[in-house]
């Protein structure tokens, strides 16, 4: 199905649907038609929002720049803006968001942000490309927030699922307090390369791996299907769910929430990248379906 609002792309082993609103991935199915993406239930009414121009929350939901305060909510505004279609083909589509009066009321910087979706065989690849249209540095963050079904198939216990990382992940994790980053470090719940999933992991909100070694992981349960999620250009990873939701968010990030007590200008915010005038920053995440 392709319309002004949505675009369907497909390959031999995978099909995806993308909405113009928020450039949001809204469906991800295998060749048998099984849906792997959370379908925006009441517990959390989103599928896979795009996080831009911030990841997480600003202290006081306030961006401070050049002596002025700007109001911006958690994860920024891209997820609530309609993107323009740049290209739509049977196996790929691309959308763009460019600054306007509405975005500059919250984020006073010129930008052009494109998101491309492409399927091949059994894999979906998503590319983020942020372009600086100004003559000064562009401070920004971006991230992905796809929510995958948990359990991946009906009849499989949630607690049977694991995340297996490409590398051992002994580094401590970070946690949030009121949406802001706590200063202390917490022991990693990952045993070697394996994280056994349980809702109790998320009682204290997201699990934030801000010094992750891996660039891919496998999400699976014995006897069920598996997803392989990979990322490049995203130095952090968030894991999140909202109990009792039947989903797990696996979130490649470039950036994170303000630390508790941070009150400086936005350009000094930890975790940002700064795009030079006329320059670009690109990052990619992908998911492969494994029966």
β partners of residue 129: 114, 282
pLDDT digits (tens, 9 = 90+) for 160-212: 999 999 999 999 999 999 999 999 999 999 999 999 999 999 999 999 999 99
Report yes or no: 247 and 239 within 8 Å, Cβ to Cβ.
Answer: no
The per-type count for the chain, helices as H runs and strands as E runs, is 1, 24
The pLDDT value given to residue 3: 76
What is 6-290's CATH topology?
Beta-galactosidase; Chain A, domain 5 (2.70.98)
β partners of residue 98: 112
Residue 1 confidence (pLDDT) above 70: no
The pLDDT value given to residue 291: 72
Dihedral sign of CA atoms 238, 213, 284, 272 in order: positive
Q: What does DSSP assign to residue 73? A: -
pLDDT digits (tens, 9 = 90+) for 281-290: 999 999 999 8
Q: Where are the domains of the chain?
A: 6-290
The pLDDT value given to residue 245: 84
* Candidate from 9-13, 59-63, 222-226, 257-261 with smallest mean pLDDT: 222-226
pLDDT digits (tens, 9 = 90+) for 108-162: 999 999 999 999 999 999 999 999 999 999 999 999 999 999 999 999 999 999 9
Residue 2 confidence (pLDDT) above 90: no
Taking the C-alpha atoms of residue 269 and residue 63, their distance in angstroms, rounded to an integer, is 10
Report yes or no: 76 and 54 within 8 Å, Cβ to Cβ.
Answer: yes
Q: What are phi and psi of 194, to 5 degrees?
A: -115, 130
pTM, to two decimals = 0.97
Taking the C-alpha atoms of residue 148 and residue 146, their distance in angstroms, rounded to an integer, is 6
Would you call 155 exposed, middle or buried from its count of C-beta atoms within 10 A (0-12, 13-18, 19+)?
exposed
pLDDT digits (tens, 9 = 90+) for 22-75: 999 999 999 999 999 999 999 999 999 999 999 999 999 999 999 999 999 999
Phi-psi region of 66 (alpha: psi -120 to 50; beta: other; left: phi over 0): left
């Amino acid at each position: 199905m392709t319309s002004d609002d949505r675009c369907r792309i497909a390959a031999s082993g995978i099909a995806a649907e993308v909405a113009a609103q928020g450039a949001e991935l809204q469906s991800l199915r295998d060749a048998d038609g099984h849906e792997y993406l959370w379908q925006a239930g009441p517990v959390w009414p989103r599928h896979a929002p795009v996080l831009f121009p911030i990841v997480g929350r600003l202290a006081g939901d306030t961006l401070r720049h050049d002596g002025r305060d700007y109001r911006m909510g958690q994860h920024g505004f891209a997820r609530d803006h309609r993107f323009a279609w740049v290209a739509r083909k049977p196996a790929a589509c691309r959308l763009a968001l460019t600054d306007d009066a509405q975005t500059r009321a919250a984020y006073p910087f010129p930008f052009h942000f494109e998101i491309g979706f492409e399927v091949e065989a059994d894999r979906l690849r998503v590319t983020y490309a942020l372009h600086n249209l100004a003559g000064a540095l562009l401070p920004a963050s971006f991230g992905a927030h796809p929510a995958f079904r948990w359990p991946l198939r009906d009849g499989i216990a949630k607690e049977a699922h694991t995340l297996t990382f490409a590398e051992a992940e002994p580094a401590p994790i970070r946690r949030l307090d009121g949406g802001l980053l706590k200063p202390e470090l917490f022991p990693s719940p990952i045993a070697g390369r394996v994280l056994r999933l349980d809702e109790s992991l998320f009682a204290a909100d997201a699990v934030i791996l801000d010094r992750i070694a891996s660039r891919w992981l496998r999400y699976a349960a014995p006897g069920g299907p598996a997803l392989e999620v990979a990322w490049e250009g995203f130095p952090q990873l968030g894991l999140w769910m909202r109990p009792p939701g039947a989903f797990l968010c696996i979130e490649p990030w470039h950036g994170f929430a303000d630390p508790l007590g941070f009150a400086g200008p936005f350009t000094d915010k930890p975790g940002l990248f700064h795009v030079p005038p006329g320059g670009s920053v690109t990052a990619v995440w992908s998911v492969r379906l494994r029966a």
